[in-house]
Structure 1
Amino acid sequence: MRKHWRGTGRITAAALAVAVTGLAAGPASAAPHAAWPGGSAVAVADGSNVFGKNLSGLSFQSPSVLWAVKNGPGTLYRLVPDGAKWRPDPSGGWAKGKKLRYHDGSGDPDAEGVVSTPEGVFAATERDNDKGDDSKMQVLRFDPASSASTLKATAEWDLTDDLPSAGANKGLEGISWIPDSFLTAHKFRDEHTKAAYDPAKYPGHGGGLFFVGLEDNGTVYAYALGQKGEYTRVATIPSGLPAVMDLEFEPSTGHLWAVCDDNCDGRSTTLDITAQGKFAVSATYDRPSGMPNYNNEGFAIAPQQACASGRKPVVWSDDDNDDKHALRSGTLPC
């Protein structure tokens, strides 16, 4: 997402308070905001001007592989450690990232969110940049093992008709994936069947559900994605934020994190499954005190294997490339 609110003014403090305290979103969002639960310090995590502007979603595949997407032009990056920082993988044709295309080889997908799963790398997109005035809210799957210099989507799911109408630059911003084993163990409720979630009801959907965040209304939607572009919505979840910029599932805690950018002062919420089987806001956090109010559109939490001295790394991506840096790192407790 490029900054589109600045021209008409930021969200007012009153509007933000309403959204965060849940007066607009209902009782599920009624968590007061608290200090960031990790370390207050934040460090630059990339070289100077490596990515430029428009770096958006982030997702760890492992402690040593971090995926990132740029929304314009649509690009997928495989990042590897560079000391305490991250850089594009210099091998396998990833040194400058790989351009993204739709399945037929056309277009320029506006990739805003990314998630690494056992079934491939998936991107959430809000439009085709070649037709920038038209909303096109899709999930695209890409093969990260491909040797091609440009990656064509291996599967596409067009969610536009199922989601609330949104402007071409206010659509899908974040995506995460939660395994069926976690959802069934926590008695997640399926709003489609109005019963406990049963993966067998969705043959061919893989091993989990995809959760996407809509910027325009700050709502999270969960989908079972089939093998031929078919889909079923199984949950609609208020995030407790006026807008969602990224989503991140943290297996060790069971939290689904929703994050917002500088228009929400960098706040984030955690969503957890309640006794009623529904995701609801369990906490709302301020950004780390050591981080200015950057336009952070991506957020990723390192796997538990990366824990050291009781803390694990987290990474944010700054769409504006402030001070010529798009990545910054911090910590959360293990």
Structure 2
Amino acid sequence: MLAHQRGTHRRGKIRVTVALSVLALAVGAGAAHAAPAATPKATAWPGGSKVAIADDSGVFGSNLSGVSYESPTVLWAVKNGPSTLYRLVQDGKKWRPDTANGWSEGKSMHYSDGSGDPDAEGVVFTPDGVFTSTERDNDDGDTSKPAVLRYATSGSGKSLNATGEWDLTADLPSVEPNKGLEAISWVPDSALTAHKFRDEHTKAAYNPASYPNHGTGLYFVGLEANGKVYAYALDQSGGKYTRVATIDSGFPAVMDLEYEPSTGHLWAECDNTCKGRTTTLDVNSQGAFAVTAQYDRPSGMSNYNNEGFAISPTCANGTKQVVWSDDDNDDNHALRTGTLACK
């Protein structure tokens, strides 16, 4: 474990090339691990080259940072400041905020005691609820606080208090407040055991029974500062957690993670820091997630500050819809869609 330290708070998302300090973090966090294999050379995006604007002008503004499909027609999105959760529904070729149950302007998010403004960067819909990855409390913006928060979304109120809270500060490298947990995804136990995923904590094949009350899968979070992905079993009845694996995303920074059930890929996405590229990670013969491919962004999309990335769960006419969320709201739009070839 690395000690917590204060960093300089920056409201904007200024991306820079990986520096020696980031390399030092990676070494400190993974000294016990063998050097990762070289990331494969980037190839063309495995889908359509064109992208389309997928929201009306000015709906979200800046800071829309993460997206996750619940179904082909329902999409969850988070804004990191002020912390807001959106339930989006499909409207033709675009996505708009749901107008039912108080979702028309999104809902503000808070910690479990009703306090704070969690800087929500990533979101994932799971059987256990909607989970977000956060970098800090915006009300104390100079202090890093990497955490995972769970929210129940069935009510009609305008604000949400977390129903679960896992503060991972003590288990992660010490980072600046704006370099923390950008990404989150969820992988079901059934997929992990089928692929003989190895548990680095027990040093044996992953056995879900080793983690009572963890739900039905593991949570994978991405740290912006070093591009590492950390897999956790989260005790759903409290704030306890166990780190199960540490994984190299193939990038110096990671902005979103997406599990694709049909292929078994865990996708890692990097923003304009890495020219909008993605990698796929799969469980190898040693039971560890490793990078298997790297892709350029679609050629028809500019190098936006895309911090969110989601893949539709269904295939239609040989393709799946993909959604990117642009934290900078370039040209007054935060959502864009493209296609990915079905496999």
* TM-score, normalised relative to structure 1: 0.93
Aligned partner of 1:316: which letter? Answer: W
Secondary structure of 1:184 counterpart? helix
Encode CA deviations 1:270-312: one digit per residue, 9 max, x unaligned.
00000110000000111000000000000000012xx221001
Distance in 1 between residues matched to 2:202 and 2:240, nearest whole Å = 17
- Provide the residue aligned with 2:252 in structure 1: 242
Instruction: Mark the runs of 5 or more structure 2 residues left unpaired by the alignment.
Output: 1-9, 27-33
Following superposition of structure 1 onto structure 2, how do residues 162-201 of structure 1 map, counting pairs within 5 Å?
Answer: 162-201=171-210
Q: Does 1:129 align with 2:138?
A: yes
Aligned partner of 2:169: which letter? Answer: T
- Provide the residue aligned with 2:333 in structure 1: 325
Distance in 1 between residues matched to 2:139 and 2:209, nearest whole Å = 39
Q: Is the 8 A contact 2:36 2:248 kept in 1?
A: no
Q: Is the 8 A contact 1:29 1:238 kept in 2?
A: no
Aligned partner of 1:122: which letter? Answer: F
- Provide the residue aligned with 1:294 in structure 2: 304
Distance in 2 between residues matched to 1:10 and 1:183, nearest whole Å = 33
Distance in 2 between residues matched to 1:325 and 1:5, nearest whole Å = 19
Aligned partner of 1:196: which letter? Answer: A
Q: Does 1:279 align with 2:295?
A: no
Q: Does 1:34 align with 2:47?
A: no
Aligned partner of 2:142: which letter? Answer: D
RMSD over equivalenced CA pairs, Å: 1.7
Secondary structure of 2:104 counterpart? coil
Cα deviation for residue 268 of structure 1 reads 0.8
Distance in 1 between residues matched to 2:241 and 2:146, nearest whole Å = 13
Distance in 2 between residues matched to 1:282 and 1:73, nearest whole Å = 36
Secondary structure of 1:312 counterpart? strand
Following superposition of structure 1 onto structure 2, how do residues 110-259 of structure 1 map, counting pairs within 5 Å?
Answer: 110-226=119-235, 227-259=237-269
Q: Is the 8 A contact 2:101 2:155 kept in 1?
A: no
Q: Does 1:59 align with 2:98?
A: no
Q: Does 1:49 align with 2:43?
A: no
Distance in 1 between residues matched to 2:11 and 2:192, nearest whole Å = 34
Q: Is the 8 A contact 1:29 1:280 kept in 2?
A: no
**CA shift in 2, pair 1:152/1:60, >3 Å:** same
**CA shift in 2, pair 1:11/1:30, >3 Å:** closer
Cα deviation for residue 5 of structure 1 reads 3.6
Encode CA deviations 1:78-120: one digit per residue, 9 max, x unaligned.
0001110000001110000000000000000000000000110
Secondary structure of 1:276 counterpart? coil
Q: Is the 8 A contact 1:76 1:100 kept in 2?
A: yes
Cα deviation for residue 165 of structure 1 reads 0.8
- Provide the residue aligned with 2:5 in structure 1: none
Cα deviation for residue 32 of structure 1 reads 1.2
Aligned partner of 1:295: which letter? Answer: N
**CA shift in 2, pair 1:152/1:186, >3 Å:** same
Cα deviation for residue 146 of structure 1 reads 2.0
Structure 1: which 4+ aligned runs deviate by more than 2 Å?
1-6, 9-12, 25-30
Cα deviation for residue 4 of structure 1 reads 4.4
Instruction: Mark the runs of 5 or more structure 1 residues left unpaired by the alignment.
Output: 20-24
Q: Is the 8 A contact 1:74 1:109 kept in 2?
A: yes
Q: Is the 8 A contact 1:175 1:247 kept in 2?
A: yes
Distance in 1 between residues matched to 2:160 and 2:99, nearest whole Å = 17
Distance in 1 between residues matched to 2:150 and 2:176, nearest whole Å = 23
- Provide the residue aligned with 1:312 in structure 2: 320
Aligned partner of 1:51: which letter? Answer: F
Identity %: 70
Encode CA deviations 1:237-281: one digit per residue, 9 max, x unaligned.
000001000000000000000000111110110000001100000
Cα deviation for residue 3 of structure 1 reads 4.1
Cα deviation for residue 64 of structure 1 reads 0.8
Secondary structure of 2:37 counterpart? helix
* TM-score, normalised relative to structure 2: 0.91
Q: Is the 8 A contact 1:2 1:54 kept in 2?
A: no
Secondary structure of 1:57 counterpart? strand
Q: Is the 8 A contact 1:11 1:264 kept in 2?
A: no
Cα deviation for residue 28 of structure 1 reads 2.9
Distance in 1 between residues matched to 2:262 and 2:91, nearest whole Å = 26
**CA shift in 2, pair 1:29/1:141, >3 Å:** farther
